Amino acid sequence: MSEPPVTARDSSTLAAALRTEQAHLTRLYARLDTERERARRTADGAHDGAGSGGTHQARLEREVRAREAARHAARLEAVERGLCFGRLDERDGTVHYIGRTGLTDETYEPLLLDWRAPAARPFYTATPVHPGPVVRRRHLHTRGRTLTGLDDEALDLAGLDESGRRTLVGEAALLAALDRERTGRMGTAVATIQAEQDRVIRSPLRGALVVQGGPGTGKTLAALHRAAYLLFTHRAALERRGVLVIGPNPGFLRYIEEVLPALGETEVVLRTVAELLPGLAATGTDDPAAAFAKGGPWMAGVLRAAVAAHQTAPAEGLDLGEGLRVSARACAEARDAARGLRLPHNRARAFYLGTLLDALAIGQALTLGRPYDDEEAHYAPRELWERPDVRAALDPLWPRLTPQQLLERLLTDRELLASAAPEHATALLRPPGSEWTAEDVPLLDEAAELLGAEGPSAPTGQDPDELAFAQGVLTITGQTDDALLDSAALAERFRDDGPYRSTAERAAADRTWAYGHVVVDEAQELSAMAWRAVLRRVPTTSLTIVGDLAQTGSPAGARSWAETLDPHLPGRWREERLTVNYRTPEPVMALAAAVLRTAVPGHRPPESIRPGTERPRAVRVPAGGFAAALARLPVGPGTLGVIAPDALATELDALTVADAKGLEFDAVVVVEPAALAPRDLYVALTRTTRSLTLLHHRPLPPELAGLL
């Protein structure tokens, strides 16, 4: 073990260190400005046409140059705040500065190491017991471009010379970060990543990684930093596909939205499950019985049955007069043949109706005594389809459907539900015209897969030369099997004279986009149907799955990771556990642990390392007095979260437990704890970083009463 760190003996030592580090910081920002201006000029000049010519090759080169320059400029814009946050001093005298991106000088000598680079890893993993080559780790605190403070950790005091010992300053950065007030936005906290989290961050890309961790263990922070690390390490594979981050609620997404851009990554889409379908607003809510029924794996079969119910063959056959007849057997054979194609419903519709039209045309020709030759076969079915009576007879047999039409019919049709979902029909039935809910979105996504478009998409007005050239580009670059690109889409992209759209912007507008990596936070809340929707968006099954089984609140959520993931990812997922709670003060965690013993017997809570200076307090209020009690509570510094049961949340302008998931506040007020289910109470108690107040009219739950 090394000796305790030696602190600076006087203010002049700190002042000298600040001057030295400020000079280097100023140099880094000057270099950032130069690189940023160069990237902007390249992006702006790529489309000016100067010297580019009009050939397809020139357009391709111009597009690639503009896109890469725009991405580079966006990444450099994003790292303005907190550009450099650390320094490593090694035993041989080597000094590395650590930051949110990498920078070199004019001769390509490194000025700043990207935090994801292998050489930067000791900044997070070195300890006094295992320092490796590191003798000192220095944390730099900045506001804008100004250095405001330093914290040193002497990891190997014996390795420091006398000059190095004399220049040690500050305190350990982690506890300083823990004492900082919350701002309503998650800090990137790169400088305080601990070894337990670093193991998660640098886990290999392949397969699904489950990060199981209790409240305050930094699992969200680790997952987002892992996304940034993977984008850095596997940029060629991930940047053109992007990363999707799925969170539990819009408030959570606002809370984390600055993290990845601040780490230099902009090709990221943030969504809740309710927002996975572009252009759809899911604003309704389901009761627990309906949520459970909609989330179960059986709904995939229910939807298939609902689609099949719209694929009919008339039992009596077709007889429209004038010889326009098709037997019942022929209708059934045509329907079965269309199903046998295993195409989506709307794609198979053309085959089924075409088969029936052919049969009608043949019958008509025989009646009229004329030959049914190739010319007749080409024109007669089309002419029949133009007749209103023919179209009215055939269209309902295999109708064109949208996902919304299919699900609306299913959920409002008592007979269809009784046939397709007899065990859950009562829970699923709802009035026509009801608002879409978050639980409907995975069902609509499943329906979209089952229905498909009516036929293969074909851009209109596409230049054949452009199509041929684009196909050649895909062949040369080895992307002919890329799910994101086809020749038409690539050619259209080169023709687009509109504003540049990033990967994230294009992905967010496309339901069928295949992402390179997906992060799912509060993953214990996802139903089996939601998992099907998520995995549809990441064919490589490269995921970071973040959650805590003890906090599951959804009726259709997870009770075990194996039970949840094995049906979808058999043998393709692994688990890491985070065990240290950096958020919740020890006195509050004692209350939460007592609740957890009731909520999930046998589940071990994380160990809190915050001693806490304020004991939790309970305030009893008269009936109907919660609003007045909230108004009288003293408001301290930092953020305040008021969490209430669903029945009171709107009245008090408070958060529900579902709203609060994934968030943290300096002070938390929990209203009427006895009205919350034990798991929800556990979540509510662990949102605070400093103080906890319980407002109650009913007696407190026994787990809390004995500890307050």
| Count of domains forming the chain | 4
pLDDT at 413: 96
In this prediction, residue 480 has a pLDDT band, given cuts at 50, 70 and 90, of: very low
Tell me, yes or no, whether 496 lies in a domain. Answer: no
Q: Residue 608's beta-bridge partner residues?
A: 581
For residue 675, give its domain range.
Answer: 586-707
Share of residues in the chain with pLDDT > 70 (%): 81
Q: Where among 399, 433, 467 does a domain terminate?
A: 433
Q: Are 605 and 214 in contact (CB under 8 A)?
A: yes
* Tens digit of each residue's pLDDT (9 = 90 or more) over 273-301: 999 999 998 999 999 999 999 999 999 99
Tell me, yes or no, whether 86 lies in a domain. Answer: yes
Q: Which residue has the higher pLDDT, 71 or 567?
A: 567
Q: What does pLDDT average to over the chain?
A: 84
* Tens digit of each residue's pLDDT (9 = 90 or more) over 547-572: 999 999 999 999 999 999 999 999 99
pLDDT at 675 over 70: yes
Whole-Å CA distances, 554 to 215, 522, 523, 623, 658: 17, 11, 11, 29, 9
Q: Which residue has the higher pLDDT, 23 or 137?
A: 23
Q: Where among 534, 564, 581 does a domain terminate?
A: 581
pLDDT at 323: 79
- Round to whole Å and give the CA distance between 672 and 695: 6
pLDDT at 55: 67
Tell me, yes or no, whether 351 lies in a domain. Answer: yes
What integer is the mean pLDDT of 30-58?
73
pLDDT at 657 over 90: yes
CATH of the domain at 202: 3.40.50.300
Same domain, 297 and 428: yes
Q: Where among 149, 181, 213 does a domain terminate?
A: 181
pLDDT at 61: 67
Same domain, 541 and 608: no
* Tens digit of each residue's pLDDT (9 = 90 or more) over 371-390: 677 666 677 888 899 999 99
- Round to whole Å and give the CA distance between 267 and 188: 17
pLDDT at 36 over 50: yes
Q: Are 301 and 459 in contact (CB under 8 A)?
A: no
Same domain, 143 and 270: no
